[in-house]
Structures are given as structure tokens and as C-alpha cells.
Amino acid sequence: LTRLFGPVSALANIHVNIYGSIALFERLFEYLDMPVEIQDRPGAKPLGKVKGKIELVHVWFSYQSDRPILEDVTFTIESGQLVALVGPSGAGKSTVANLIPRLYDPTRGCIRIDGQDIRDFTLKSLGDAIGIVSQETFLFHTTIRDNLRYAKLDATDEEIIRAAKAANIHDMIASLPEGYDTVVGERGHKLSGGEKQRIAIARVILKDPAILLLDEATSALDSHSEALVQSALEELLKSRTSLVIAHRLSTVLAADKIVVLEEGRVVEQGTHSELLALNGLYASLYHQQFKASDTPSSETNPAAV
């Protein structure tokens, strides 16, 4: 189920009402245009204990056969590293992120985790190893507790509270009259964008995956909410392999490596200072996008660089 979290997020604007049942939720996908052709290979093995090195090796990909969306994409994320993926809109950043949990498979080339082609692993074990925080957070029409527990079905209440505290969302939940039993979602209590993001972060903290895929929000949060999300993300990024579709200056500065995509190709990769020195696409994105994105809030937001 977890591997479907990405496409659900992409579909969140369809306003589907789901009444709390994971089984129903799974059945829903039979009616949607999901990439159901991705299945376990015969003899697929569980991924086992993950160190977390990720390699994209000459990856090509098309949604439709005639138009390549990714062309010969090659880069490596060493175990425990934070890699920031940047590039203009439509460059293929989300597509790269979608290939890692195998929402789609490359048309040519391969993706390896700890040296082995991810198509050799069971989808279940791959999904268990990967946590996703995307721009839209899908909430079931059920309690906050169950929305969190969905990330780890056997989580105790104590674990749920610990994750919510680490994600800076516990105090807000505790202040609601019904606390963790508050029903949320389309027909329940409405959470703000920043609160939903922190629920998504709490879910991943609870799941504790070796690999994190994070699509940073572009939507403007108020500076208080922004600071809470930012410090929750720092907690999440500790000690795991992370690929972040970066929209914040603080993330690109913190990254071990920045990979710059343009029209489906990797055009530059390196650290912030290496890429600035190249004075190419990253340098111009930095001046237009990243510097601008953090400038207004940096006066009021202590978490911003």
C-alpha cells in the first residue's frame, strides 16, 4: 500500500471520499489509471537490511513511447547521503523520484539499491524501505491516530505520540478537543497545509525507512508553520539516504550533492559551491529561485538560511 502513496498524492485533487478503510482504498486503485503493469518478477527477493546506496545507471524513460522524458540519467546517492534534485518545471524531477519505488520502470538502464537492480526485489520490501513525503498529503477520513498508524500498523500509541512530537505536530493535535481521536479529511476537521505536511513527516518518522524521497513544498506557508516543517524535516533527514526535490536554499546548501536536470538530462552535478563556480543552469536557478525562495521568510524564520 505504501508504494501507492505517491500516486495518491498526485491524485489528491480528485477529492475522493474514502471512509477509513485501507481495503477500500486499495480497491479504489482498480478504477484509477495506475501503472498496474509493475509486478514482482518471478523469483523476486525481499530487499532485506538496506544500507541505502542508490544508483541510477543510464536511465531512459518515457510515459508514452514517442517522447523520452528521461534521457541517459546517471547519478549515485551514497548510503546516508542527501542529494538535492533541482531543475526547471517539467525537467523530470518527479519522474526520477517515481522510478525509485517502481511506480514505473525505466525503458532502458537500471536503478540499483546496494548494488542490485531494484526489479530483483519484491515490491512490498521495496515499499517498506522507502518513505515518501510529497507535496500533497493524503488523509483518510478517519482519526488522526489511524492516519498516523497507517504508516506502521502495529505502532503503539506511545510510538505514535513520539513520532508526532518529532514532527512538531503533537502540540497542535493535543490542543484539539478530541486530540488524536479527531476525525480529519474531506468531511472532518480540516488541517492546514503545514499541518498536513507535518502529519506526512510523522508518518515517515514512524515508518523509519532507510530511504527517503521528499518533494519539498512550493506552496507558501506562514513563517511559523514553515519553521515547524523545516525543523521536522531536519529530524527526518538524519541518518538516511535522501533524495529531495529541492525548493529551498537551506536544502541545497545542506545537500552532499546537487543534481541538475534539464529536459530529462543531467546537465550538472556537484556541491553548491562547485555548481556556482560553473556559472551554468544551477547558478541561474540559484539566483532566480533558491535565493528568492528563502529571502522573504529568512527575516522572520530562524530555520531558514
- Closest approach of Cβ 291 to ligand ATP, in Å? 18
The nearest distance, CB 125 to ligand ATP, in angstroms, is: 25
Q: How far apart are CA 210 and CA 171, in angstroms?
A: 27
Alpha carbon distance 199, 164 (integer Å): 7
Q: Is 173 helix (H, G, I), strand (E, B) or coil?
A: helix
Nearer to ligand ATP, 24 or 32 (CB): 32
From the CB of 216, what's the least distance to ligand ATP, in Å? 11
Provide, rounded to whole angstroms, the least separation between the CB of residue 176 and ligand ATP: 33
Comparison of 69 and 184: residue with beta carbon closer to ligand ATP:
69
Which residue, 90 or 302, is less far from ligand ATP as judged by CB?
90
- Point out which residues bind ligand ATP (CB under 6 A): 63, 69, 87, 89-95
84: amino acid identity, one letter: A
Q: Which residue from 94, 120, 88 is spatially nearest to 290, judged by alpha carbons?
A: 88
What is the smallest separation between the CB atom of 154 and ligand ATP, expressed in angstroms? 34
Whose Cβ is closer to ligand ATP: residue 114's or residue 268's?
268
Nearer to ligand ATP, 69 or 202 (CB): 69
Nearest-angstrom CA–CA distance, 292 and 65: 37
> Are the beta carbons of 264 and 89 closer than 8 angstroms?
no
Residue 19 or residue 63: which is nearer to ligand ATP going by CB? 63
CB neighbour list of residue 24: distance below 8 Å, 6 or more residues apart = 18
* Distance of closest approach, residue 149 Cβ to ligand ATP, in angstroms: 30
**Residues forming beta bridges with residue 113, ordered by sequence position:** 54, 116
- Alpha-carbon separation of residue 165 from 66, 158, 181, 199 (angstroms): 48, 11, 16, 10
Shortest gap between Cβ of 92 and ligand ATP (angstroms)? 4
**What is d(CA 179, CA 161) in angstroms, rounded to the nearest whole number?**
11
Closer residue to ligand ATP, CB minimum distance, 13 or 175: 13
Contacts of 294-297 with C-beta under 8 Å, sequence gap 24+, read: 294/248, 294/249, 294/250, 297/223, 297/226
235 burial (CB, 10 Å; 0-12 / 13-18 / 19+) is middle
Q: Smallest distance, Å, CB 264 to ligand ATP? A: 7
Q: Which is nearer to ligand ATP, 146 or 294 (CB)?
A: 294
Judge contact between 266 and 195, C-beta under 8 A.
no
Q: How would you label 47-82 residue by residue, b for 16+ Cβ within 10 Å and e otherwise?
A: beebebbbbbbebebbeeeeebbbbebebebeeebb
Enter the C-alpha cell of residue 60: 531512459
